[in-house]
Amino acid sequence: MKKKQTQGELIFGIHPIIEVLKAKKRKLLRLYTTKPTPKGFAQIEKLLPEHVPIQYVTRAVLNRMLQNEEHQSVIAWVQPFVYRSTMFDPQKHQSLLMLDSVQDTRNLGAILRSAFCTGVDGVILPQKKSAPITGTVLKASAGLAEHLNIYQVASAKAGLQQLKDAKYSIYLATLDGVDARTCDYKRPLCVVIGNESIGIDKQLFKYGQQVTLPERVPGSSYNASVAAGILLFIVNQKLS
């Protein structure tokens, strides 16, 4: 009888694997690396449970496994990403981030990295039209996405309605809002960042206050991940 393969996914890179081991939210099932081992592998070995098998292969094998060369000579087979099972509590989670249709995995990873660095308590991702948490996302976040509380909702509209019902103040990053630097932010709050091309769906504007980042040239716009980092920093500073 053929043995059923354990459900999981591939993650890659020194920092992502280290952070998965540190977070202890999901099990690392198998590790693939080269001989000699790559620089930084000793940090992984210090955290690696004894029962995890290590398979030594060539870089060419790693390239084929991942279909690219961004693995830093180490790939891990791990359990699927663990999403939060319940919506956030405004008493415990005062600062949230929601992403509306962010589809680029590297953008998503960079945004999650900024969310962690600015002390966001939780992230909300719609299941529709949004990139899931993958190995590429984890790599782009330098592994920090593993430490975030991330909750999935059916849609951005459904998520914002839940937040409004829970009495969260909502701030949407758009091109036609009040100056983000002077806005009077109130906790508990949720910052909303939109799609890389079209921004936030206009149907969602009614749920909160639109805020805008200053620009050198009117009509230009920031990359979604850059905008998220700047706005989250501003909000964090204003509330400190």
Q: Percent of the chain beyond pLDDT 90? A: 90
Q: Mean of the per-residue pLDDT values for the chain?
A: 94
Residue 217 binned pLDDT confidence (cut-offs 50, 70, 90): confident
pLDDT at 21 over 70: yes
Is residue 6 very low, low, confident or very high in pLDDT (cuts 50, 70, 90)?
low
Please return the burial class of 31, using the count of CB atoms within 10 Å of its CB with bins 0-12, 13-18 and 19+.
buried
| 203 and 111 inside one domain | yes
Find the domain containing 142 and state its range: 95-239
Q: Which of 53, 78, 103 lies at the terminal end of a domain, its last residue?
A: 78
| Number of domains the chain contains | 2
Residue 224 forms part of a structural domain: yes
Percent of the chain exceeding pLDDT 70 equals 96
Asked whether residue 49 falls in the same domain as residue 110, the answer is no
pLDDT at 43: 96
pLDDT band at 221 (very low <50, low <70, confident <90, very high): confident
Judgement on whether residues 223 and 114 belong to the same structural domain of the protein: yes
pLDDT at 219: 64
Give residue 73's region: left, alpha or beta (phi > 0; psi -120 to 50): left
Q: Is residue 170 part of a domain?
A: yes
202 dihedral zone (left: phi>0; alpha: psi -120 to 50; beta):
alpha
Whether the bond into 49 is cis, omega within 30 of 0: no
How many residues can be counted in the chain?
240
Statement to judge: residues 17 and 68 lie in one domain: yes
Question: pLDDT of 160-210, one tens digit each?
Answer: 999 999 999 999 999 999 999 999 999 999 999 999 889 999 999 999 999
- Using CB atoms within 10 A of its CB, is residue 154 exposed (0-12), middle (13-18) or buried (19+)? exposed
β-strand partners of 179:
212
The whole-angstrom separation of Cα 122 and Cα 148 is: 6
Q: Residue 37: inside a domain, yes or no?
A: yes
Pick from 2-11, 28-37, 217-226 the range whose average pLDDT is largest.
28-37
CATH of the domain at 206: 3.40.1280.10
**The domain boundary residue, chosen from 78, 112, 132:** 78
Q: Are residues 40 and 155 in the same domain?
A: no
Residue 202 φ then ψ, to 5°: -60, -25
Answer for the pair 151, 86: CB distance below 8 angstroms, yes or no: yes
The H-or-E segment that residue 115 falls in is helix 105-117
Q: Choose the final residue of a domain: 45, 78, 111.
A: 78
Assess whether 105 and 48 both reside in one domain: no
| 3-class SS of residue 176 | strand
Q: What pLDDT score does 220 carry?
A: 67
Q: Does 87 map to a domain?
A: no
Assigned domain for 124 exists? yes
Q: What separation in angstroms does the CA of 89 have from each of 92, 99, 167?
A: 5, 18, 10
Position 129 confidence tier, pLDDT thresholds 50, 70, 90: confident
The secondary element (H helix, E strand) that includes residue 29 is strand 28-33
Between 18 and 198, name the one with better pLDDT: 18
Local confidence band at 131 (pLDDT 50, 70, 90 cut-offs)? very high
Q: Is pLDDT above 70 for 12?
A: yes
Domain annotation covers residue 90: no
What pLDDT is recorded for position 233?
A: 97
Indicate whether 86 belongs to any domain. Answer: no
Question: Could you tell me if 69 and 103 lie in one domain?
Answer: no
* pLDDT greater than 60 at residue 2: no
For 49-104, how does the pLDDT look when each residue is reduced to its tens digit (9 = 90+)? Answer: 999 999 999 999 999 999 999 999 999 999 999 999 999 999 999 999 999 999 99
Residues 108 and 221 in one domain: yes
Domain of residue 33, CATH code: 3.30.1330.30
74/161 same-domain check: no
Burial class (CB in 10 A: 0-12, 13-18, 19+), 147: middle
